[in-house]
Amino acid sequence: MSERWASAALQTYRWVGLAAYPFLGAYVALRASRGKEQHARRHERYGKASLPRPEGPLVWVHAVSVGETGAVLGLIERMLSKGLNIVLTTGTTTSAALVRERLGDKVIHQYVPLDLKPAVSRFLNYWRPDAAIFAESEVWPMTILELGARRIPQILINGRMSDRSFNRWKKRSALADSLFENFHHVAAQSERDAERFRELGARPVTVTGNLKADVRIPSVDSETKSQLENAIANRPVWAAISTHDGEEKVAARVHRALKKHWPELLTIIVPRHPKRSADIQKMLVEYGLNVSMRSVDKMPDANADIFLGDTIGEMGLYLRMAGVAFVGKSLKGEGGQNPLEPAVLDTAILSGPNVSAFEEAYKKLVAAHGARFVDDEISLAKAVYKLLANDKLRTAMAMSAARVVSDMEGALDDTWDMLGPYIQPLIVNAQLGNAYQTSDDDDINGTQGGKKRIGWK
C-alpha cells in the first residue's frame, strides 16, 4: 500500500464520516434504548461537553471499557496528586459507573466522542487538552489526525497488539505508518507488542509492562464481607467471573454436575455486563436452580444454588468468598479477561483457551502453576471438583498466582517515568498557577503575598 493510497484512504474515511454524521442520531438513540448509552448524556458522543473546563493544564485520558479504566486508575491518581486536571473518557456505561465509584468528582468523566471530524473537533476545541493519553489498543484515525494537526502530544500506554490486529494493520502498512507516526511515544506491555508497534511505524517505543499487574487489592466493606461470610457459612464456593454470553449456562451445568457431590455447593456468577442479569436469572431458574441476586436479595439464602453478582465494583467481595475462580470471555468469547485481580486474592484461577488479550499474563501464570486452562464444560467441572476437593492443591495454585503478580509489578512506576517529559511541564505550570492563586488570595486577605511568598516550595 503506497503513501498516496494511505492518504486517499484517510481522506475517504474523513468524508464518509462527514456524510454519515447527520444520520447517527438514530444509531446513538438505539444504543441508548438498549442500555448501551446513557440517554441523558448521549450528546457527549458528538463532542458536546456536559461540564465546564477547569482552569489550568488538562490531560485527556481515554480508556475504552472497565478493564482499561481499572488499569489507568493508579496513573490518574498520581496525576491528580500533582494538581493536574483530568478529563477521562470511556465508551461504556459500566466503565462510567466504575469511574463514578472509584474517582467520584475528582476527574471529569465524558463519553468518548465518535471518531468523526465534527465530534472530535468539537471535543478538542472545548477541552483544549495539553496532552492525550490512550490505553492499550485505542487507535482512532480521525482522533489521531486531529490531535496531530493541533500538535497535542499523544501517548499510547499499556499498549498491546493482538495477532488479529497486527495482521490487519500489516496488510495496510502505509496506512498504519501514517497513523502510528503521530504517537509521541508508545509504552508497550511486552517486547513482542513493542516490536509490532515499531514494525507498524511507531517511534519511540519502550516496554513498561502491564499496568494491570500493578493491581491494588480490591477493597471491600468489612461489614458486608462479614454478613456474606455468615450467609455462606461453611458451604463450598466457586465463582465464574467476568462471564460472557453463554458462559453462565456453562457455569449452571457445572453447578448441577458438582451438586451431586456437594449438595450445599454455592456458585457465584459475576457477569461482565450486569445489565444482562435479568436474562441470566431467567435462564438459571429454567435450569431448575435457586437464584439470589446481590442487587435484590443482598445476601444468598440457605437454599440458593447461585449467587448472582449483578453489581459493579464488588469483585473484591465475591472473590474473597471463593477459593476457585473461572475467568470468563475465554470459553464462549474471545480475548479473555484480566486474571490478575483474582490472583491477588488467594484464588486458584481457571480459564478457557481464548485469552489473546491477556496472553502474556496467562503464560506466566500457567508456567508457575498459578492458573490452568480448560477446554470445555466437562474439563471445567473436573477442574473445579479437583480444586474444591484438594485444599493443598488449591492453596498452592493461589500462592503461585500471587507470586506471579508480585514479580510483574512495576509497570506503574515505569509508565510514570516514561510520561515525565510530557506531563512534568504541565505539573510545573499547575503548581505555579496554584502558587500565584494562593498569592492573590493572601493579598486580598491583607497577608504576605506576591512573589515573595511563593518561596518555590
User: Which of 61, 51, 202 shows the shortest CA–CA distance to 130?
Assistant: 61
Give phi and psi for 152, each to the nearest 5: -90, 125
Least confident of 202-216, 229-243, 282-296: 202-216
- Report pLDDT for 435: 60
Residue environment code for 338-369, b if the CB has 16+ CB neighbours within 10 A, otherwise e: bbbbbbbbbbbbbbbebbbbbbbbbebbbebe
All cell numbers assigned to 24: 447517527
Q: Could you read off the pLDDT of 57-78 as tens digits, one per residue?
A: 999 999 988 889 989 999 999 9
The Cα 118–Cα 18 span in angstroms is: 7
pLDDT at 417 > cutoff 70:
yes
The Cα 197–Cα 204 span in angstroms is: 9
Q: Could you read off the pLDDT of 103-127 as tens digits, one per residue?
A: 999 999 999 999 999 999 999 999 9
Residues known to be catalytic: 68
pLDDT at 28 > cutoff 80:
no
Q: Could you read off the pLDDT of 305-337 as tens digits, one per residue?
A: 999 999 988 999 999 999 999 999 999 988 899
**Band (18; pLDDT cuts 50, 70, 90):** confident
Note the helical H segments in 276-376.
Answer: 277-286, 294-297, 315-321, 340-343, 359-367
Q: What residues have CB less than 8 Å from 127, skipping those under 6 apart?
A: 49, 53, 58, 60, 87
CA distances from 205 to 185, 194, 415 (A): 6, 6, 12
